């Protein structure tokens, strides 16, 4: 779901790893009920429906998720786009660990042999595109 600038919420509070799992389910398909979110995330994580409901409540409080009544249940929809979340988290990572510079991040990944030849080719192509 895309939001107009006037409708887009301010950047929510930091989203925990558990909350992110719930957000991923909602980014894949929404709106969803708490039960439907649980069907996506509870099994692999060993969570209960109550855990999912708690996480959804936290996300609503953080304004990352919107709710809409649907009979006796609620439908949940993300209020922030995944791309916006990834962009903010990426920036936080680079700022916190690499002094706001991306080059040391890539150097670290290269030294740790975390970049595949395909990754390097994609980065090179992106850099060429950015230069032109």
> How high is the mean pLDDT of the chain?
88
Residues 100 and 54 in one domain: no
Confidence bin at 32 (pLDDT 50/70/90): very high
The string of DSSP codes covering 68-86 is: EEETTEEEEEESS-HHHHH
Residues 49 and 67 in one domain: yes
- Round to whole Å and give the CA distance between 112 and 106: 10
Average pLDDT over residues 57-62: 96
pLDDT tens digit string along 69-87?
999 999 999 999 999 999 9
Same-domain status, 89 and 49: no
What is the pTM (predicted TM-score) of this model? 0.77
Asked whether residue 98 falls in the same domain as residue 67, the answer is no
Same domain? For 51 and 89 the reply is: no
- Sequence-ordered strand ranges (E) for 1-132: 65-70, 73-78
Report if residue 45 sits inside a domain: yes
Q: Do residues 110 and 127 both lie within one domain?
A: yes
Q: What is the DSSP letter of 33?
A: -
Ramachandran angles phi, psi of 108, nearest 5°:
-60, -45
What is the span of the domain harbouring residue 113?
Answer: 83-131
């Amino acid at each position: 779901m895309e939001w107009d600038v006037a409708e887009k919420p301010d950047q929510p509070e930091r989203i925990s790893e558990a909350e992110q799992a719930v957000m991923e389910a909602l980014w894949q398909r929404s709106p969803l009920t708490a039960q439907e979110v649980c069907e996506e995330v509870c099994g692999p994580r060993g969570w209960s429906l109550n855990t999912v409901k708690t996480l959804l409540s936290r996300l609503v409080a953080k304004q990352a998720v919107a709710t809409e009544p649907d009979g006796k249940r609620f439908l949940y929809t993300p209020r922030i786009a995944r791309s916006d979340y990834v962009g903010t988290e990426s920036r936080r990572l680079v700022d916190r660990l690499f002094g706001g510079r991306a080059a040391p991040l890539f150097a670290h990944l290269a030294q740790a042999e975390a970049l595949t030849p395909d990754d390097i080719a994609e980065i090179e192509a992106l850099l060429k595109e950015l230069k032109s």
